[in-house]
Structure 1
Amino acid sequence: MFDGSFPEPGALRACPDAGLIDAIRGWSTAAAAAEGRRLSAVAEFVTRRCTDEHPDWACDDWDATAAEIAAALNISHHRATTLMNLAITVRERFPKVGALVLAGAITAHTAQLIADRTYLVFNPEAIATLDARIADQAHTWGPLSDYKLIQSLDMLVDEIDPGALRRTTGNARHRDITIADPDEQSGTTALWGRLLATDAAALDKRLTAMATAVCTGDPRTVAQRRADALGALANKADHLACLCGSPECPATADDGRATNVIVHVVAEHATLTTPADAGESLHGEEPAEPEPAPPAPPAPSGPRPKPALLVEGRGGIIPAPLLQDLIARGARVRPVPTPTAAEPRYRPSAALATFVRLRDLTCRFPGCPRPAFATDIDHTRPYPHGPTHPANLGCYCRKHHLAKTFWPGWHDEQLPDGTIVITTPTGHTYRSKPGAALLFPDWNTHTPAPPTDPAAPPPPPEDSPGRTLKMPRRTQTRAKARAYRIKTERALNDAHVAERTKPPPF
């Protein structure tokens, strides 16, 4: 195993080429081994915490454990649960594979592929056989691509437990559409997924028809028009508005893509009125590289127009050129409300809720990317002990809201600028600053301190009887749901296995 004796970064300039290659290989092995040790620590923590004492809680032992790991690593809840599943797999199901990860012989990525392709295997003897065979062959997988590695794993699974083979036809059962987080620099969002082939063909045909129905004066490329056509479909339009600008064009009717948008502006007036640079056009081909020009006189001093905040849907940041384009096509612009007084009710008003969501932008739990407009608004000090006031409210996704409310050991404190200090059951603290304060430093998110009501009852202690009675319950425990998924997918494979093993007709 690599012992760390290769040059440190500061000494690499004097290292020969062969030494650099050795260092690259050595530190890659060390990185894989370090990942194995992290998986070991995660597996031990999961084993201690996931005692399955609350299997029917909506935020069960597994979710509460994932929340602590996510906070420690500043990652999302989904990534934390994926890490936990992999850690338990290489510790309990495939210990020989886990030993290879600890030695740096294979990476955590390879171990994840192994875990995914063997998910349906539940027979202990088959698991042990697979563990031994995979560990024996893993040293030959170094140059394999992911596709070839999956093929090799599937061959082993098919040989040892044919009913556990995750067949390509299973992709139809896992069809989904994923919409990524908005890209604040471009004002766009990545989209990917899997459709039934018939639906994909219909969508492709529809997008092409809408993209080609505009006139030849439209400045967008075909690819841009197809993307915009999908947005028009999302806004219940049956056509794509032409952007040629000609009043005589019959295809300029509004397609709803801008008029259905509500924008809350956190910017100077110049952001709404300053024309975009010529190189910042949203449509057409990339501008050609301009010819060298003589030095221009110094530009007027002053800040560049800043972006704004998109309120509806997933939220996000809108660059100034896109903001001006949306406004020109009819988007509704509203100022950010600035409520400062406490409200005499549990549920905040629309103005107060909008302010809190715009200030926070995402779930305030460390590492959670859930957009604020898809979260709960939580009282830092529980109501009515704590008022419904901007300095006592924060956005949490439902999972993290339940974890901090019902699981003992969680505490949070909110500062006047909206910063939240979260303390976990292990005593570790994490600071979560409002998303808008990070992106808009000139926006003063400080609010007056919330009023205190001496007559308000104190919050109940964590160990008070009945405190957890309001925790939502699952309709099916996590263990039963996993067993059901495995049973269902294996049952779908049974017909294929029976057909393949049927003796030939006489």
Structure 2
Amino acid sequence: MFDRVGLAGMGDEALISALTAATQDEAKVAARRLALIGEVIARQCDGEDDDHAHQVVDGWAWAQAAVAAACNLNPHAASKQMRIAQALRDRLPRTAALFASGVVSATVIDAITWRTHLVEDPDALALIDAAIAGEAGEYGAHSEKQLIGAVDVWVEKFDPDAVVRSKRNARDLYVEFGDKDDPNGVASFWGRLRVTDTKVLQQRLDALADTVCPNDPRRRGELRAAALAALGVIGPALQRLTCGCGNPDCEGSGKDPRAGAVTIYVLADQVPAAGQQAPQQSVPGAAGTPESEPTTTEPETTSESDSVPESGGDSEPQAPAAQSRPAAPAACHPSPAVMLDGAIIPAAMLAELVAGGATVKPLAEIADLPTERQYRPSVALTAFVRMRAMTCSFPGCSRAAHRCDLDHLIPWPAGPTHPGNLGPLCRLHHLLKTFGGWTPTAKPDGSIGWSAPTGHTYSKAPGAAILFPHWNIQAPIPRKRAITLLDDTDRDTKMPVRQRTRAQDRAQRINTERTRNHQERALELADLQANPPPF
């Protein structure tokens, strides 16, 4: 499709006309896709009774799983698409009609549905929808800021309390982590604290920054960053920061406490010889130098249970895993580490972690991981299964494996504790597997096939198969043992429940934001009356 055959002969006018038509067709297909998503929501959520709405796996969760698997989206992205579809179907019919005709793009629709989501009065919403539909065809030419302003004009006119205020200008407190533009090895964070909390934190970081010797080459900002990370590892007991001057006689020299919270799982690697089409599979388990090959990060914790408690905290990430390789050609550079959440640790930073006291452990070979007699997998088996999958085993889900339950795909004791019968599942997809009719089937290559209640089938490949193709992760699938399971006819009554339904939570969030907007507008009006402009 992307070669020039059939395109090079087109005239300029025909080429641009075809591009315009393709853009409109793209919008029409996107609208059709959202209409289908809206129907999935309607079938699962419309008419939902109160008992089902209070379950953790409610109608929305059922629909979310179906949409995520069909569209290969993570749960958050699937929910966002569902909210847009719901808004077009139930709140903005005129705007939806324009979208279906190809007049506006999916990007414009995304902005419109978000900027109007706080509007609650049906009459105001109808007026806003009509006003937006009258001019939405022009929105595509606007910048994002202009587009938001154009939508907000009508929201301000008909329901001023529903104008979405920027989080950066809001009065609530928050801390956010990570940005899509962060370079490898680092992650940004930002937020807003109470002024007193900010002062206390700043004084604490500055005090720790002052504990290094004058020869430490780092700037004040770098020292604060190191102090903040060290506080997260050591806590209030931290008395001084490790100095970076490099002098072994310095009073502040020593191992960085931050590295001590990291476990590096090491995986042997092979570099293809000249003319070799693909790297040969090597056996995992040999420890190597930190400058070697890709690494993956995993917390050093025991596995979660197969039973599904009503609540459970996520374990904190502690570790990466490294690969070593034999003599490599001069052109081969050390490979980076790969954390289970997908973040990259450059090879130089990995070497610093090892030198700073990170724990280095080899991954067990598949031959050394036989069936275990107990229910809970051993530490070695847990590490292997999580490193192999790297993320939740449900299609489309990207939650890091160390933040997932380790599940027996065939329930224990009929399903043994064996690498061929274990996979990480986030809490939501663990519940769907347990109660929702989604059936997993493990395969020897580490991938897991899923059969949906609708009869559709999906497959999720392990992350290691992509990042570490040389690694032998082939595991035989153990036979189901002839053990009679306990009668579980009342299983649905064991589903964890919410204190409030999803709709109640959403209504409270909208009401809270509208109330805050109303208060801010009242303060702005009072300030304007007290200090009128000079005209």
Q: TM-score range by the shorter chain?
A: 0.7 to 0.9
Secondary structure (helix, strand or coil) at the match of 1:173 reads: coil
Determine the structure 2 residue equivalent to 1:417: 445
Letter in 2 for 1:328: A
Give the alignment partner of residue 47 of structure 1, picking from 42, 51, 56: 42
Contact 2:173 2:192 (8 Å CA) reproduced: no
Structure 1 residues 160 and 32, CA, compared in 2 at 3 Å: closer, same or farther? Answer: same
Q: Whole-Å Cα distance in 1 between the matches of residues 203 and 18 of structure 2?
A: 52
Give the alignment partner of residue 340 of structure 1, picking from 342, 350, 369: 369
Letter in 1 for 2:423: G
Determine the structure 2 residue equivalent to 1:31: 26
Determine the structure 2 residue equivalent to 1:406: 435
Tell me whether 1:175 sits opposite 2:192 in the alignment: no
Determine the structure 2 residue equivalent to 1:372: 401
Displacement of 1:301 = 7.8
Tell me whether 1:450 sits opposite 2:478 in the alignment: yes
Contact 1:43 1:88 (8 Å CA) reproduced: yes
Secondary structure (helix, strand or coil) at the match of 1:469 reads: helix
Q: Whole-Å Cα distance in 2 between the matches of residues 157 and 230 of structure 1?
A: 42
Determine the structure 2 residue equivalent to 1:190: 187
1:453-506 superposed Cα distances (whole Å, 9 cap, x missing partner) = 32x11586xxx741212210011001111222222222333445556788989x
Displacement of 1:71 = 0.9
Structure 1 residues 429 and 459, CA, compared in 2 at 3 Å: closer, same or farther? Answer: farther
Between 1:137-146 and 1:393-402, the stretch displaced more is: 137-146
Letter in 2 for 1:390: P
Between 1:420-429 and 1:191-200, the stretch displaced more is: 191-200
Determine the structure 2 residue equivalent to 1:272: 289
Q: Whole-Å Cα distance in 1 between the matches of residues 19 and 6 of structure 2?
A: 14
Letter in 2 for 1:492: R
TM norm structure 1: 0.81
Letter in 2 for 1:31: E
Letter in 1 for 2:44: R
1:297-335 superposed Cα distances (whole Å, 9 cap, x missing partner) = xx8489765555668xx5866444332221112111111
Q: Whole-Å Cα distance in 1 between the matches of residues 151 and 80 of structure 2?
A: 20
Secondary structure (helix, strand or coil) at the match of 1:13 reads: coil
Secondary structure (helix, strand or coil) at the match of 2:98 reads: helix
Structure 1 residues 117 and 272, CA, compared in 2 at 3 Å: closer, same or farther? Answer: same
Structure 1 residues 240 and 8, CA, compared in 2 at 3 Å: closer, same or farther? Answer: same
Determine the structure 1 residue equivalent to 2:127: 129
Displacement of 1:39 = 1.0
Tell me whether 1:327 sits opposite 2:354 in the alignment: yes
TM norm structure 2: 0.77
Contact 2:292 2:334 (8 Å CA) reproduced: no
Determine the structure 2 residue equivalent to 1:84: 82
Contact 2:410 2:480 (8 Å CA) reproduced: no
Secondary structure (helix, strand or coil) at the match of 2:150 reads: helix
Structure 1 residues 486 and 41, CA, compared in 2 at 3 Å: closer, same or farther? Answer: same
Structure 1 residues 322 and 459, CA, compared in 2 at 3 Å: closer, same or farther? Answer: farther
Q: Whole-Å Cα distance in 1 between the matches of residues 332 and 200 of structure 2?
A: 47
Q: Whole-Å Cα distance in 1 between the matches of residues 30 and 225 of structure 2?
A: 39
Structural mapping, 1:79-478, within 5 Å: 79-168=77-166, 171-173=170-172, 175-179=174-178, 186=184, 188-196=185-193, 198=195, 227-236=225-234, 237=238, 239-268=240-269, 271-272=288-289, 300=329, 305-306=334-335, 318-338=345-365, 340-408=369-437, 410-454=438-482, 456-458=483-485, 465-478=489-502
1:412-439 superposed Cα distances (whole Å, 9 cap, x missing partner) = 1111232211111222222212222321
Contact 2:377 2:417 (8 Å CA) reproduced: yes
Structure 1 residues 26 and 59, CA, compared in 2 at 3 Å: closer, same or farther? Answer: same
Secondary structure (helix, strand or coil) at the match of 1:383 reads: coil
Determine the structure 2 residue equivalent to 1:13: 8
Q: Whole-Å Cα distance in 1 between the matches of residues 239 and 98 of structure 2?
A: 56
Give the unaligned 5+ runs of structure 1: 1-6, 277-298
Displacement of 1:87 = 0.4
Between 1:71-80 and 1:212-221, the stretch displaced more is: 212-221
Give the unaligned 5+ runs of structure 2: 270-285, 294-327, 531-535
